[in-house]
Structures are given as structure tokens and as C-alpha cells.
Amino acid sequence: MAQSTRPHTREDGSPERLAIDTIRTLAMDAVEKANSGHPGTPMALAPVAHTLWTRFLRYDPQVPHWPNRDRFVLSCGHASMLLYALLHLADVRAIDAQGRPTGKPAVSLDDIEHFRQLGSKTPGHPEYRVTTGVETTTGPLGQGCGNAVGMAIALRWLASYFNRDGFPVFDSNVYVFCSDGDLMEGVASEAASLAGHLRLGNLCWVYDSNHITIEGKTDLAFDEDVRKRFEAYGWRTHVVEDAEDVEAFAEAVEAFQATDDRPTLIMVRSVIGIGFPTRAGTRKAHSDAPGEEEIRGAKRSYGWPEDARFRVPEEAKRSFSQAISGRGEPLHAAWEEMIGRYREAYPDLAAALDALCKREQPQGWDADLPVFAADPKGIASRDAGGKVLNALARDVPWLVGGAGDLSPSTKTEIADSPSLEAATPGGRNMHFGIREHAMGAIANGMALTYLRPYTGTFLVFSDYMRPPIRLSAIMEIPVIFIFTHDSIGVGEDGPTHQPIEQLAGLRAVPGLNTIRPGDANEVAVAWKVALAQTGHPTALIFSRQAIPTLDRDRYAPASGLEKGGYILADCAGKPGLILIGTGSELPLVAAAHERLSGEGVKVRTVSLPSWFLFEKQDQAYRDTILPRDVPSRLAVEQGSALGWDRYVGPNGATVTMSTFGASAPIADLQEKFGFTVDSVCRAARDLMEKNNGSHARSETQSAHAPA
């Protein structure tokens, strides 16, 4: 890459110049030592990042989790060394998992020297919870952009709820660094469109327009006018022609801070890998470790000692950290003083703020959960879910969410609450539009900013949301993903809308609690479980069609769902057959239980709505529910068989889907694919015949396997 004359930054030898070049050389040295990573973007954006952090960012390095801090999101997560260098130079102090200060640096020089190594605080892409100061896990491009929109929405909601005259409890901004790759991803476009609609004046994206991606120059696949696109979204745009022109960038940030009626995009033209000598080959500084020869040439162009490794001049670190703390610490101190007065003037709001920041729920939040009477006709679990959501929303004010243009179908609207719109930022009903991918990413950003968000769409469209669902699990944040229309029960809409493999896909995500409740009372318990926890996301899987509400005087209490699986109905002595059901198939296996019991079969029926919770129980409990010495186990579910072998065992069977569905009324589909009492009973008899040689009753003995 051609060397830059750097005409607009401070003169060589100044503290600012030293700090900028320190960021660059740390990126080069870390990537070279790891023989892995991307130094080009950190080098190119060092002047821009330095200017934002030292002159504008509202941030206290000593208390990096201060609620009213500005958020900085590095959506181009491959440039992680930029963020690690900033955190090191700012002398950000680490906090532990409980939010307590440790006194240790968030990113030490030793951490930087162990960039991308096992157990380091400097992984290849920034990871929330791993590194203090990282606001969100960014890896897949575009996700950070979506997260930032959620953060900006949440901060405006919090301001609407908590702020009072003379008490600006929340008035901070969200800054994002994003790349050409981010803006190619559809999720960023979806999120930007919604941000413009909501007129998020507290959101600023800094777009590094360097025209380079991994394959080469962007004109291979990307030549649109990004500025016009964002203006069409309703954003204010600025162009900085040279990333080295820090004063032009500062003017653009000042213009953003003076804007409150729309989000801002600052396009910065940069030269990736600035300072690397031009080479005749095809090296792409974005994607390769630069090599010792290029590093020495770059350092020479900076006036840097060529042989120095991981050099951090004291003057550079002191000037950088003092600039940030000199502004951020007084702002934080003034905020704390204001909160002291706020506690006296608004004690209830102050108590709510404390609970919110600790992820605690208001006292008695689950006291009004509905109890549903037995009803053979029943209610769709989506309808039951809507009733439970509204009961909880009355007591949990920061439960906020909506659907991807499907709230009438997903039953995810909070009654008697306004929509969250530009003019009503404190509304609780969000309209994400038909933007499922952005909906998930935005919900993650909201959860990272204290709210308890939920989303809603059809289960088949969870495929559009897999990246943010996966990231919510990686980050261990309590987003609630509601999925309705969960099976071939969708009926006439046909196979494009009938989920088959989606349940197995969600269950495969580590750390995601996928719950498919089997009647209305299980729905209530599922919602309680989802809202009670704070360390992982939950997927609630609901039916479109009505399913019977089981008589809990006859069957076990729905509270058994809290353990993931429980015995719904049993027999005297050791069972000869175990039926397992979830969702709309739970009443079906209950009906099969009654018929088979009437025929003299010793049958146990198990409800297994959450594999995630069931696997958290000890082995003794799981063996009590599914005894090892009962080989005849039949699982019934209108989805893929994948994964059920764990519970039915080598001698068990399933009544599941092995093909896509069809367009037809639901009764015809259930008959065709075998989801009737007759079909389930026939499958159960065949299974017992195979395993036992007859339909005879099992001998009465302990249901526990031998030790």
C-alpha cells in the first residue's frame, strides 16, 4: 500500500501522533506474533478512533459499566486490535462477572502480546463478557450495526422512562465503526432502515470506506452510492475525504452531536494498512499478517524504532488516558451526584433503576400469572402466550418487544401500551417490520442495554434469525425469542411455512433454552422460566392451532416444566412403555396414554418441553423420568426426528416428520403424517411387539435401573 503523507494529523513527536502510531504498531506487532489477524483497518482508522475517544466519547475508564456511558461498537470485529489498543491506552479497569472492580487493566500489554491465543482477553473478534470494555460480541459482519440500533432504541426508552426535569439519567450516544463488509450484509441495511424510521438521533455510524474486502477491491461486487442509500433511509450523512484529517472528522462528530432528529452516517475515506510499503505482489493487508519486511517499512515511515516490539511510549499512554478520564470522570461524578438527588426526589424510580441495572425483576413480578382451566377444546399456545405476556407486562415495565410485522398472528402485543415510534420512544410495542435478521440483532442490543426484549415471528423464519440467536447464546444475554406456527399445524400455507428441521436447529444451539410447551399452563410456566433467568436466551415455541388444556387434577402440575421434563401420567409399577410428547403433541400422547392404559398396557407419559433444562438435572432425576431399563420409548413430535435418539434410546422409536409438509387442512395433514391417536397407539404396539414379543403387561417392579 502507498505511504501517506498524513497532512492533517498532529506533527511527528506530539503525544497525539505518538498515540496514533502506537495503535498502529501494536496492531502490526500483535498480528505478526500471532501470525493471524487483520492489521490494516486498525492502522487506517487509528486517527479517527483516537479523535473520537479522546475528544468526544463519554466514558469513565475506572467505571466502564457506568449506565450513562457512550457505547462504542466495533462492528468490523476483524479489526479487534483497534479496540484492544484503545482499551489498553485508555487504561480501562476490568470488572468481574458481578460488575465489581478488580483493579486490573481490562487489556494489559501482556494480553496484547497474546492476541488470538487460548484463554487470552484479546480473542480474534471482540467478545462480550471476555473483555471489559467490549460492549457486544461482533464477529459476523453487520451484527454490531444491528446491536447498536438496539442500544440506541433502549437508551431512548430508558430516557423516556427514567428522565425527569433536571434529571437526565440517560442522555448518552452510540458510536459504531463499520466497514464495507458490514454495509454489504443485509442485516445492516435492515437495521439502518428501521433506525431512520425511528429517527434515532443518538446513533452515529462511522463507515470506513476503504474499498477493500478479503477477496480484493470492493468493485468486484459493490459499487452503489452508500451515501445516497443512507439519505434515502432518512439519515444525515457526512463525508470525510481522508481518515488522516482529524479536524474534518471532529467537525462531523460535532454535527452529529448537534443533531437530534435522525441518525448520522460519517463516511471516512481511508487507505487500509497505511504505512505499509507498496509491493508488487497481491498482498491484502486486510486479511494477512503483514510480514516482518512490511512492518519494518511501516515503522520507518512513522519514525518508529524498526526493531521495537509492542512499544508503548509512556507519553502516548498518559496523554490518551488523561484525555478520556479527564472528561469522563467528571461527567460520571456529576451523574452520580445527580442520582443522589434523584433518589430523594423519585425514590421509586431510583429503586427501579437499581433493579434494572442488576437485571432484577420487580417484587412480585410473577404473582399474577394466569391459571388456565381444563378445556378439551383448548387454546392455541400462541394465544395463551399472549395472555401470559400481558399479565407479566403489567408488573415488569421494561419488558419491551414486538414482531416482524406479525403481532396479530404471534399474539405479541402488549395491550394498552403505545407503539415504540419516533414520537413515542417509551412505547412497549415494537414494529420491526419484515426484518427478522435485524430484529434479532436489535433485540440483542436492547438486552445489552438493560431492557428485557422479546421478538416474535413464525418458527420457520427462525432461519432468518440464526446469527443473532447464536450470538445471544454466546453472550449469555436474556433475550426471549417467540416463535409461533410451530408445525404442519399451519395447514393450508403449505411446506414453505411449515417448520420441520427448525426445532432441531434451535435445540442444537449451546446455551439456548428452547421450550415447546404442551398446553396453556405449561405456557405460563415457560414464560416464568424465561423471564426469571438472566444468563441465557430462551426460544418459546407456540402453536397456531388450538390444543387441549389438560386437567391438572388428573395429570401432574405444569410446574414440572421447570425441570425440562416430568412425568405427566403414570402407571402402577414399572412401565412397559414410555410415551414422550411436546407442544401440540402432548395432549395427543395423553389421549394415547388413556387408550393404551384401557387396553392394559403399563404406560408412562412424559412431557419433555425443554431439553436444555432437562439436561441440567442430575442423572438420578433423569433416570427417574426415563428409566434405563424401559426400552420401549416412543417420542411424538411434528418435527424432525434429529436428536430424539438421545431420549428414546437404541430400541425406541419416533412419530416425527421425515419429509416436508403439504398444503391442506390440518386434520388431513395429521391423518396423512400419522399424528392421530390411532397412529400413535399403533406405533406404540409395534414398538412393544418388537422389544417384548407381545403386548403383555410389563411385570411390576422398580422403575429404577440397577446401579
Lay out the sheet containing 203-209: strands in order across: 71-74, 174-179, 203-209, 264-269, 236-240
| Of residues 609, 604, 607, the one with CA closest to residue 630 | 604
Distances in Å between the alpha carbon of 175 and those of 71, 80, 152, 330, 362? 6, 16, 9, 21, 31
Angstrom distances, CA of residue 671 to CA of 140, 374, 497: 43, 25, 19
Question: Strand, coil or helix: what is 590?
Answer: helix
The answer to whether 660 and 520 are in contact (CB under 8 A) is no
Q: Are 534 and 447 in contact (CB under 8 A)?
A: no
With a CB cutoff of 8 Å and minimum separation 6, the contacts of 654 are 634, 635, 636, 637, 641, 644, 648
Task: Say whether 344 is catalytic.
Answer: no
Q: In whole angstroms, how far apart are CA 400 and each of 415, 418, 428?
A: 12, 11, 5
Active-site option among 135, 413, 436, 637:
436
Judge whether 64 and 327 are in contact, CB under 8 Å: no
Give the integer Cα–Cα distance in Å for 480 and 536.
Answer: 9
The DSSP string of 358-416 is: TTPPPTTTTTT---PPPEEEEEEHHHHHHHHHHHHHTT-TTEEEEESS-HHHHT-PPTT
Give the residue from 236, 137, 162 showing the smallest Cα distance to 195: 236
Amino acid sitting at position 571:
C
- Strands of 653-657's sheet, edge to edge? 566-569, 603-607, 577-581, 633-640, 653-657
702 φψ region: left (φ > 0), alpha (ψ -120 to 50), beta (else) = beta
Number of H helices, E strands in the chain: 24, 22
Phi, psi angles (nearest 5°) of residue 198: -85, -5
Contacts 24+ apart (CB under 8 A), 326-330: 327/58, 328/57, 328/58, 328/59, 328/60, 328/61, 328/69, 329/60, 329/62
Query: How many angstroms separate the CA atoms of 34 and 113, rounded?
Result: 8
DSSP 207: E
Contact of 143 with 154, CB cutoff 8 Å: no
DSSP SS3 for 647: helix
Buried b (16+ CB within 10 A) or exposed e, 398-429: bbbbbbbbbbeebbbbbeebeebeeeebbbbb
Taking the C-alpha atoms of residue 40 and residue 85, their distance in angstroms, rounded to an integer, is: 14
The enclosing H or E element of 327 equals helix 314-345
Residue 487 near residue 445, CB atoms below 8 Å: no
Which residues face 233 on adjacent strands?
Answer: none
149 and 79 Cβ atoms separated by less than 8 Å: no
Residue 140 identity (one-letter amino acid): P
Please write down the HEC assignment for all residues of 478-523: CCEEEEECCCHHHHHHCCCCCCCCHHHHHHCCCCCEEECCCCHHHH
Contact of 173 with 202, CB cutoff 8 Å: yes
For residue 682, give the C-alpha cell.
399403533
Q: What is the DSSP letter of 420?
A: -
Q: Return the amino acid letter for 130.
A: V
- Residues marked as catalytic: 436
